[in-house]
Amino acid sequence: MPYISRSLPIFVFVMLFSSFAQAAENDPGYIYAPERSQGGTGKFYMGREISGVMGHQAADWLERPQRTHEEMPDEVVANMGLQPDHIVADIGAGSGYFSFRMARLVPQGKVLAVDIQPEMLEMIEQRKRETQILNVESIQGRIDNPNLPDNSVDAVLLVDAYHEFSHPYEMLEGIYKALKPGGRLILVEYRGEDPSVPIRPLHKMTEQQVVKEMAVFDLDWDDTLDFLPWQHMLIFVKR
């Protein structure tokens, strides 16, 4: 603790100690390793090394034809329980692969396509112009904030994105605040329990790890759907 002069008024002591307590309470407990794993960042959260981010240069991989049977995007969206007037956030939206699929199911609502890379957002805007699906709104996120209004969304979708968040605690806090009461957070992640899934280990997450990290906030684990070939689809509800 820094040196505090005895000449300071008592209310200054209170303010200082309150700020120290608040900082300790909000400390997400990140740990930094002297060396990082291949494809990792060397930054750990709750025992998990955070992976590096896939850049916009690999956007073609997001649109690969085989993705429809490897990840079954239409089936994922169909299992989200969306209503026509729902507001949905697609965080780590990339090229909008899932955003535009969801947009068709919420004709009276909209999809907030959030990404930190302007190049990805430009792809989404171009896709809007080409498809004339206009209920998709692109939003510039930050590495520690999805930039969504509080209590504004009915559902949030994270597809192969959460494990890449450099600030998972701060991002999850922003997501939690953005969800309406009873809103759902849906994560699709490659199964870390299955060594046969042909994805680098840091780009996979176990069900146990996901549940542990979501429990930091008041998110109840509602279900895990395992109909996908390589991924699990975990559903959490805001109390």
Which has more pLDDT, 81 or 18? 81
Q: What is the pLDDT of residue 67?
A: 86
Q: What is the pLDDT of residue 214?
A: 98
Query: What is the average pLDDT value for the chain, to the nearest integer?
Result: 88
Q: What is the pLDDT of residue 62?
A: 74
Question: Each residue of 152-162: pLDDT tens digit?
Answer: 999 999 999 99
Q: What is the pLDDT of residue 26?
A: 54
Question: Each residue of 56-68: pLDDT tens digit?
Answer: 656 676 777 788 8
Percentage with pLDDT > 90 across the chain: 79
Q: Is the pLDDT of residue 2 over 50?
A: no
Question: Each residue of 209-237: pLDDT tens digit?
Answer: 999 999 999 999 999 999 999 999 999 99
CA distances from 178 to 21, 68, 105, 182, 185 (A): 25, 30, 21, 11, 10
Question: Each residue of 85-130: pLDDT tens digit?
Answer: 999 999 999 999 999 999 999 999 999 999 999 999 999 999 999 9
Which has more pLDDT, 204 or 1? 204
Q: Which CATH number fits domain 58-238: 3.40.50.150, 2.40.37.10, 3.40.50.2300, 1.10.10.10?
A: 3.40.50.150
Query: Which residues, 6+ apart, have CB-to-CB distance to 107 below 8 Å?
Result: 84, 135
Please tell me whether residue 155 adopts helix, strand or coil conformation: strand
The pTM score is 0.86
CA geometry: angle at 222 spanning 196 and 92, to 5°?
A: 60
Dist CA 80 CA 152 (whole Å):
17
Q: Which amino acid is at 141?
A: G
Q: Domains of the chain: which residue ranges?
A: 58-238
